[in-house]
């Protein structure tokens, strides 16, 4: 019995052993398959991660309302002109750097990089590999080269994603758009004033300016800045009825793509930040102020006007001694008489005339889209200040404020708010009436005569078919408590005078006579070689006429409203 029992035990043992052996074989086969599957799965994951990494430049650009938005705290909304042309645009880019401590084989790395970037200076790169801890190999790398360099798989190669702010128009809108710093914060222009809006907005910010008009005006300004050798210049074109600014230029300008630290005051925005005594362009305000108070009519006569008068120790004289002694109020404006303007101002009185200049915006602080607006000085209008302010001396303002004032004089006498932002214009219609009915029409009639009559001072601006009216202003620049020989020559124009729609103010800072420039008369046959006088009538007026010749067709087809 025991032997038999023993056999049974042995058989059971062998049976168990056989079973265990078979189970182990199955286990080994399964583990091999699982291992191979795991390897392939890891390769697949690495490949997917690589693809995602390569595509990250695009994947980080989502579509929100069909508008590209970079998913980054540094995102800024695009800025366009009235026609959708990009003035500022945010794009994503990648910089490639090398951390030298992570380089395993310098020779191999240099060879690989030389294949991808054959035009680089590899003597310099080799120096950097030996001397620096980290350096940038390529900034704003192309998609193609990015893929090539990442495929090298070298852990010393580091990619840094950056957000770039590009300005496709370069210098053309520099004083409007402004600049940002290295942290993507606006430091000037609309980039500064609308910093938060540009960070949060999902849609481009559309401006009222027109790229083509801006280009043509700037081109002529640059041309005539060289002819008259002026230190700088400025121009603004604005709709008198809604305040839309179609063009705003200040020279010299700059390229915002270069992100320069501009400290030279000559690069100031001369339209908004520069304050100037602008001379006789103030005389239409004196004329309008007296009309508004019912103190004069255009035909009111001023007789026996002297050639000069004194106010305290200062002498006030005529710029041209040929001006007659007997003039009507309108003729005083047309001929740009200083003494006659003083007499009109004295009729108005200090308090009322100062109030009028503040009411139309010439001597009051202006609220504007760009923060860089010069503070307006509060003048004490005594006897002499009234006299000098009547013909535009002793008081300073900006070109922007002057443009607003001329808009009020020509649009029927209604308040308007100058703007660069289309969104602001939806409800930006004519505001409160500032001038009595009929005053605006009387002023516009006189401004037209300044351009199209022989007695006027702006005949070079009499461009056919555009009915230009305006007033010249030639002012000596104050220096060290006195006046220097340096001039500020300004022409403030409105057109068409039969249905005023635009104000265009142009200023030349310190122009010189141009002895070789040929003037072709618009008011009669022939011409003249050389600038007779360094006055606005021979400089700013001539430039304005040339510019309106160029931009007139665009304005006529796109912006003139038929009443």
pLDDT in tens, 462-476: 999 999 999 999 999
pLDDT of 63 reads: 35
pLDDT grade, residue 263 (50/70/90)?
confident
> Of 206, 223, 245, which residue sits at a domain end?
206
Residue 265 included in any domain? no
Range name among 1-10, 20-29, 224-233, 460-469 with the lowest pLDDT average = 1-10
Q: Specify whether 188 is located in the same domain as 224.
A: no
Query: Is-contact 560 244, C-beta < 8 A?
Result: no
Which residues share a beta bridge with 519?
528
- CB within 8 A of 282, min separation 6: which ones? 362, 389, 390, 391, 392, 395, 473
Question: What is the sign of the dihedral through the CA atoms of 88, 92, 93 and 99?
Answer: positive
pLDDT of 10 reads: 39
- Cα separation of 331 and 549, whole Å? 28
3-state secondary structure of 284: helix
pLDDT grade, residue 17 (50/70/90)?
very low
Residue 62 included in any domain? no
> Of 206, 231, 246, which residue sits at a domain end?
206
Q: Specify whether 423 is located in the same domain as 458.
A: yes
pLDDT of 262 reads: 80
Residue 200 included in any domain? yes
Tokens of 507: 């200023």
Tokens of 241: 């009825």
pLDDT of 478 reads: 85
pLDDT in tens, 424-440: 877 666 779 999 999 99
Helices then strands, counting H and E runs in the chain, come out as 17, 18
Q: Specify whether 202 is located in the same domain as 219.
A: no
pLDDT in tens, 266-297: 999 999 999 999 999 999 999 999 999 999 99
- Cα separation of 494 and 380, whole Å? 30
Domain total in the chain: 3
Range name among 27-36, 94-103, 351-360, 466-475 with the lowest pLDDT average = 27-36
Q: What is the mean pLDDT of residues 320-347?
A: 95
DSSP-derived secondary structure letter, 441:
H
Which residues share a beta bridge with 507?
234, 490
pLDDT in tens, 72-112: 567 899 999 999 999 999 988 889 999 999 999 999 999 99
Residue 360 has pLDDT above 70, yes or no: yes
Q: Specify whether 88 is located in the same domain as 33.
A: no
- CB within 8 A of 522, min separation 6: which ones? 459, 460, 461, 462, 463, 464, 545
Task: List, in sequence order, the alpha helices (H) in 244-337.
Answer: 283-292, 329-334
> Of 206, 240, 262, which residue sits at a domain end?
206
Q: Specify whether 233 is located in the same domain as 293.
A: yes
Please report, rounded to a whole number, the percentage of residues in the chain having pLDDT higher than 90.
Answer: 73
Residue 478 included in any domain? yes
Q: Specify whether 156 is located in the same domain as 82.
A: yes
pLDDT grade, residue 320 (50/70/90)?
confident
CATH number at residue 368: 3.40.710.10
Nearest CA to 516 out of 224, 229, 227 is that of 227
pLDDT grade, residue 15 (50/70/90)?
very low
Nearest CA to 176 out of 107, 246, 104, 127 is that of 246
DSSP-derived secondary structure letter, 120:
S
- Cα separation of 235 and 403, whole Å? 10
Q: Specify whether 45 is located in the same domain as 89.
A: no
Q: Specify whether 549 is located in the same domain as 521.
A: yes
- φ, ψ dihedrals at 262, nearest 5°: -90, 115
Residue 264 included in any domain? no
Give the pairing of strands 157-166 and 205-206.
unpaired
- Cα separation of 469 and 451, whole Å? 6
Q: How far is CA 64 from CA 51, 58, 67, 71, in A?
A: 23, 14, 5, 10
Nearest CA to 306 out of 327, 285, 331, 283 is that of 327
Residue 514 included in any domain? yes
Q: What is the mean pLDDT of the chain?
A: 88
Q: Specify whether 328 is located in the same domain as 430.
A: yes
Which residue, chain included where needed, has tokens 């630290």? 261
pLDDT in tens, 111-154: 999 999 999 999 999 999 999 999 999 988 888 999 999 999 89
Nearest CA to 245 out of 202, 285, 206 is that of 206
The whole model's pTM is what? 0.81
- Cα separation of 91 and 69, whole Å? 9
Top-ranked range on mean pLDDT: pick from 49-58, 251-260, 273-282, 315-324? 273-282
Q: Specify whether 301 is located in the same domain as 237.
A: yes
Q: What is the DSSP string of 150-192?
A: HTT--TTEEEEEEEEEE-TTGGGGHHHH--B-TTS-B-SHHHH
pLDDT of 561 reads: 80
Q: What is the mean pLDDT of residues 321-337?
A: 95
pLDDT of 29 reads: 61
CATH number at residue 153: 3.90.1310.10
3-state secondary structure of 433: strand
Domain of 124, in residue numbers: 67-206
Containing H/E element for 98?
A: strand 86-99
pLDDT of 61 reads: 36
Q: Specify whether 162 is located in the same domain as 201.
A: yes
Residue 13 has pLDDT above 50, yes or no: no
Q: Specify whether 317 is located in the same domain as 452.
A: yes
Nearest CA to 140 out of 122, 157, 162 is that of 162
Residue 166 included in any domain? yes
Residue 60 included in any domain? no
Query: Is-contact 532 524, C-beta < 8 A?
Result: no
pLDDT of 421 reads: 96
């Amino acid at each position: 019995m025991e032997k038999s029992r023993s056999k049974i035990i042995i058989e059971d043992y062998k049976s168990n052993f056989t079973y265990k052996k078979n189970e182990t074989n199955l286990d080994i086969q399964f583990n091999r398959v699982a291992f191979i599957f795991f390897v392939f799965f890891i390769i697949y994951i690495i490949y997917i991660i690589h693809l995602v990494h390569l595509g990250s430049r695009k994947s980080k650009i989502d579509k929100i309302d069909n508008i590209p938005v970079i998913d980054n705290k540094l995102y800024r909304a695009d800025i366009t002109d009235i026609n959708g042309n990009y003035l500022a645009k945010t794009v994503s880019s990648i910089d490639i750097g090398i951390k030298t401590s992570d380089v395993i084989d310098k020779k191999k790395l240099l060879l690989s990089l030389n294949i991808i970037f054959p035009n680089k200076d590899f003597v310099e790169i080799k120096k950097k590999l030996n001397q620096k801890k980290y350096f940038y190999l390529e900034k704003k790398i192309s998609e193609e080269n990015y893929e090539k360099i990442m495929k090298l798989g070298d852990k010393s190669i580091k990619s840094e994603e950056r957000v770039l702010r590009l300005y496709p128009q370069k210098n053309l809108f520099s004083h409007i758009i402004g600049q940002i710093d290295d942290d993507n914060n606006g430091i000037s222009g609309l980039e500064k004033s609308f910093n938060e809006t540009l960070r949060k907005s999902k849609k481009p910010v559309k401006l009222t300016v027109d790229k083509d008009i801006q280009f043509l005006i700037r081109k002529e300004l640059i041309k005539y800045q060289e002819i008259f050798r002026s230190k700088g210049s400025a121009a603004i074109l604005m709709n008198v009825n809604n305040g839309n600014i179609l063009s705003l230029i200040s020279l010299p300008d700059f390229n915002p793509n270069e992100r320069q630290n501009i400290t030279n005051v000559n690069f100031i925005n001369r339209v908004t930040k520069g304050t100037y005594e602008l001379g006789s362009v103030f005389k239409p305000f004196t004329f309008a102020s007296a009309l508004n108070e019912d103190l004069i009519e255009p035909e009111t006569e001023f007789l026996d006007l002297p050639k000069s008068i004194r106010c305290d120790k200062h002498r006030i004289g005529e710029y041209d001694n040929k001006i007659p002694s007997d003039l009507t109020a309108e003729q005083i404006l047309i001929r740009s008489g200083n003494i006659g303007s003083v007499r009109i101002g004295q009729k108005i009185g200090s308090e009322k005339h100062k109030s009028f200049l503040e009411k139309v915006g010439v001597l009051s602080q202006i609220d504007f889209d760009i923060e860089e607006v010069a503070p307006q000085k509060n003048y004490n209008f005594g006897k002499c200040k009234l006299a000098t302010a009547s013909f535009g001396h002793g008081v300073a303002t900006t070109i922007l404020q002057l443009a607003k004032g001329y808009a009020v004089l020509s649009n029927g006498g209604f308040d308007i708010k100058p703007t660069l932002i289309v969104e602001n214009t939806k409800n930006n219609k004519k505001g409160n009436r500032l001038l009595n009915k009929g005053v605006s029409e009387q002023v516009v009639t006189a401004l037209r005569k300044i351009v199209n009559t022989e007695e006027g001072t702006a005949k070079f601006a009499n461009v056919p078919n555009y009915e230009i009216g305006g007033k010249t202003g030639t002012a000596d620049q104050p220096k060290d408590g006195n006046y220097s020989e340096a001039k500020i020559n300004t022409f403030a124009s409105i057109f068409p005078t039969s249905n005023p729609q635009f104000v265009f103010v142009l200023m030349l800072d310190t122009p010189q006579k141009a002895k070789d420039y040929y003037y072709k008369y618009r008011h009669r046959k022939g011409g003249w070689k050389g600038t007779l006088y360094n006055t606005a009538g021979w400089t700013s007026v001539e430039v304005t006429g040339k510019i309106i010749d160029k931009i007139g067709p665009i304005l006529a087809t796109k912006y003139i409203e038929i009443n």
